[in-house]
Structure 1
Amino acid sequence: MSDAFDPVDFLESAVPIDSHEDVTAMREFLVETLEANGADPLVDDAGNTLATRGEGSPHIVLNTHIDTVSPHIPYERDGDVIRGRGSCDAKGPLAALLAAFFAVDTDRSGRVTLAVTPDEEVYSTGAAALDVTVLPDVDTDGDCYVVGEPTGLDVCTAAKGRFEGTLHLSGRNAHAADPDSGVNAVAAAEGALAAIREFDAERDPHPDLGPATLTPTVVEGGKVTNQVPADCALTVDRRSVPPESAEGFRDSLEATVDDATHADVGVDFELTDRPTPFLEAFATDADAPVVRHLAAAATGVTDGDAGDVRPFTAATEASYFSPAPTVVFGPGVLADETGPVAHADREYVRVADVERAATALTDALAALRG
């Protein structure tokens, strides 16, 4: 790691900065940190902060985000533990990525680009617009990507995607005293729910991520208690596995429910409107160099206590960078034996894990650059 940059000092300054509603102050602090350590950062039109070191191949991109969820939780340090909003998701990973970035030996072949995004926790507008070639002298996308998230220093090579949409069932109003004269959309939900339950029955589970899931979460239908309802809406949550895409899922679910309901019932399924693509599932081959070198480095700095190659259990912006080899890695955990950590009011990260993550990333980058 760079002698001039201490990731723990950075983290102790970063966690107190509110970044749940507006990331401006946190981005300014990041830019100041990059400038103070000899980098020449650029902030693009989407609010992404970019900087690059070295040149040539391979081109390795280090990515994480500076926004956090609400509410802000104040910084607190208790010995080896730093608490507060963003301590593990994802300012702790950012601190480790910065340490590795500043340690890059520019006399060796290979480029390392830092790309820090806003809005990961909502619509991922930064990652969706990310183009590292806006940097001077950078004319290629990354050959591989490391995405900073709390993984307990394991190397995560796959994650499920998350889609959401609403299934609209349409029928025909009638008096409840003569129900056969109408088409009951609420009653049609019985067939739709059965189709949802069986949607994945014939699909093979992913070898790393297991089966996809499809969960009905909200139902709305009917307005008058003595009337056959003409409309019913079912909202569903989809956790996808490769190679399913959002549009492929939409078309398949609509056709499946249409087959499972009466011909007089109209079926329409629309994905929830959002300004950016959904976070789709991704999977990277465990034999990819970025996986092998980072797993070896993490295993080395933790004496084998971490560095496992496994899936990540939450959706991430990593899917925007796939199919380039992409891994998710960082200090901190989504949950521990007590309960949730990231996004919870007890969010924390261990100082030793931040330091070990920084060392592992530094060693992996050196190995990747030969």
Structure 2
Amino acid sequence: MSQTLLGLVSHYSPSRQERAACLWLTEHMRSLGYDRAFIDAAGNAVGVLGNGPRQVVLLGHIDTVPGELPVRVEDGVLYGRGAVDAKGPLACFTDAVARVGAVEGWQWVVIGAVDEERDSLGARFAAGQYHPDYAVIGEPNRWERVALGYKGSAGAHLTVRRRQVHSASGEQTACEAAVAAWLAVQAWVETFNIGKTRAFDKIMLSLQGMESGGDGLEQWARLKLGARLPPDLAPQEWYRRLVEIAAGAEIQEAGYAVPAWACEKNSALVRAFLSAIRAQGGAPSFVYKTGTADLNVVAPAWGCPALVYGPGDSALDHTPDECVSLAEFEKAVAVLAAAFQGIAEKG
């Protein structure tokens, strides 16, 4: 069994508590023969192998959602927080690069990014530090699949204010106005989605929180909205639409918004992965995800061929049942190693 996978999953590292896991990973990378391994200014664990002018960056994330789970191996399956999302893919990257080793003319950079489950601070830092020829992002999508797209994300606080009135006045309350604004936004989204068959092309709207209050002179109601955005709707356009739809409400951006991103399908990187999957006896396929990943952060900045790859069933993300098949993990390591060798050989 991979000591990288077991070691990473055994180091509980929810967002903002990743340092112990990063220290372990960098030390382990050195033991695997990496030329350099260090923790960067953002707290990311970074391993570098090779010193050629051409560079491949493999960006996984080392943080997890909260909720520590017992780590155990049972019937060829590793259970534990992060086994799927996304220490499995990160461990694959680490082991595959060690297996390939130094290749003349190339440099492999493996990054265990911090804070992906919150604000992607690690990926935002890395985006300005590297200029790779190819990029692979680590997320679970099964070993036979390559993910080529992730939806954008934009959070917002919608606040309505009304003057304080007697409950018998018949005037609209702030809470009633907030509900009306929510229904208007919901109706607009439903109209936008008409005729779109793929979930990747639709807006996915969610109401994530609500609160209200007052000071005796003014009453207010606030809704926390989340939206997963398709490629043809940028976050700033979404915010502009919210202002129009919820006329009179205050719209405040919440968190870091990122646009959707779809990778080039016919690239040397994609072809190398398809060939490597077939060589392992798999039938490769593509997937476009309804979630958001660090791909959305780094791909626009790096502007190079990219894709998302990693073992594991993403349906287990963030659940108490996180686990990954050790056989699938080994298949994924073999695919990654063969893909990197293929890229290096073809230049």
- Measured against the shorter chain, the TM-score band is 0.7 to 0.9
- Following superposition, the deviation at residue 280 of structure 1 comes to 3.5
Query: Is the aligned partner of 1:34 residue 2:29?
Result: yes
Aligned partner letter, 2:134 = C
Tell whether the 8 Å contact from 2:76 to 2:326 is kept in structure 1 after alignment. yes
Q: Structure 1 pair 166/75, CA: closer, same or farther in 2 (3 Å)?
A: same
Per-residue CA deviations over 1:282-308 (Å, capped at 9, x if unaligned) read: 11121122222213312331432xx31
Once the two structures are superposed, the pairs formed by residues 267-346 of structure 1 within 5 Å of their partners are 267-272=249-254, 274=255, 277-304=256-283, 307-323=284-300, 324=303, 325-335=305-315, 341-346=316-321
Q: Structure 1 pair 59/199, CA: closer, same or farther in 2 (3 Å)?
A: farther
- Two-structure CA RMSD over aligned residues (Å): 2.6
Counterpart of 1:4 in structure 2 is none
Tell whether the 8 Å contact from 1:279 to 1:316 is kept in structure 2 after alignment. no
CA distance in 2, matches of 1:207, 1:173: 45
Per-residue CA deviations over 1:292-329 (Å, capped at 9, x if unaligned) read: 2213312331432xx31111343211111123333211
Once the two structures are superposed, the pairs formed by residues 1-370 of structure 1 within 5 Å of their partners are 8-20=2-14, 22-39=17-34, 40-56=36-52, 58-130=54-126, 133=129, 141-153=131-143, 154-179=145-170, 184-200=173-189, 201-202=191-192, 205=196, 209-221=200-212, 230-258=219-247, 266-272=248-254, 274=255, 277-304=256-283, 307-323=284-300, 324=303, 325-335=305-315, 341-369=316-344, 370=346
CA distance in 2, matches of 1:278, 1:321: 13
Where does structure 1 lack aligned partners over 5 or more consecutive residues? 1-6, 134-139, 259-265, 336-340
State the SS of the aligned residue for 1:95.
Answer: helix
Tell whether the 8 Å contact from 1:156 to 1:312 is kept in structure 2 after alignment. yes
- Following superposition, the deviation at residue 357 of structure 1 comes to 0.5
- Following superposition, the deviation at residue 34 of structure 1 comes to 1.4
- Structure-2-length-normalised TM-score: 0.87
Aligned partner letter, 2:85 = D
State the SS of the aligned residue for 1:331.
Answer: coil
% identical aligned pairs: 26
Tell whether the 8 Å contact from 2:264 to 2:306 is kept in structure 1 after alignment. no
Deviates more, 1:288-297 or 1:348-357: 288-297
Per-residue CA deviations over 1:147-183 (Å, capped at 9, x if unaligned) read: 1111112100111122221111223222234345xx6
Tell whether the 8 Å contact from 1:151 to 1:312 is kept in structure 2 after alignment. no
Aligned partner letter, 1:102 = A
State the SS of the aligned residue for 1:85.
Answer: coil
Tell whether the 8 Å contact from 1:331 to 1:357 is kept in structure 2 after alignment. yes
Tell whether the 8 Å contact from 2:151 to 2:230 is kept in structure 1 after alignment. yes
- Following superposition, the deviation at residue 46 of structure 1 comes to 0.7
Tell whether the 8 Å contact from 2:201 to 2:231 is kept in structure 1 after alignment. no
Q: Structure 1 pair 45/270, CA: closer, same or farther in 2 (3 Å)?
A: same
CA distance in 2, matches of 1:8, 1:217: 39
Greater gyration radius: 1
Deviates more, 1:43-52 or 1:104-113: 104-113
Aligned partner letter, 1:156 = A
Tell whether the 8 Å contact from 1:46 to 1:129 is kept in structure 2 after alignment. yes
Tell whether the 8 Å contact from 1:50 to 1:132 is kept in structure 2 after alignment. no
State the SS of the aligned residue for 2:175.
Answer: helix
- Following superposition, the deviation at residue 63 of structure 1 comes to 0.8
Deviates more, 1:187-196 or 1:163-172: 187-196
CA distance in 2, matches of 1:88, 1:349: 6
CA distance in 2, matches of 1:301, 1:346: 27
Deviates more, 1:103-112 or 1:88-97: 103-112
- Following superposition, the deviation at residue 240 of structure 1 comes to 0.9
CA distance in 1, matches of 2:343, 2:119: 32
Aligned partner letter, 1:350 = S
CA distance in 2, matches of 1:351, 1:15: 13
**Structure with the larger helix share:** 2
- Following superposition, the deviation at residue 230 of structure 1 comes to 3.9
CA distance in 2, matches of 1:208, 1:297: 28
- Following superposition, the deviation at residue 131 of structure 1 comes to 5.0
Aligned partner letter, 1:166 = H
Aligned partner letter, 1:30 = L
- Following superposition, the deviation at residue 350 of structure 1 comes to 0.6
- Following superposition, the deviation at residue 57 of structure 1 comes to 5.6
Tell whether the 8 Å contact from 2:228 to 2:291 is kept in structure 1 after alignment. no
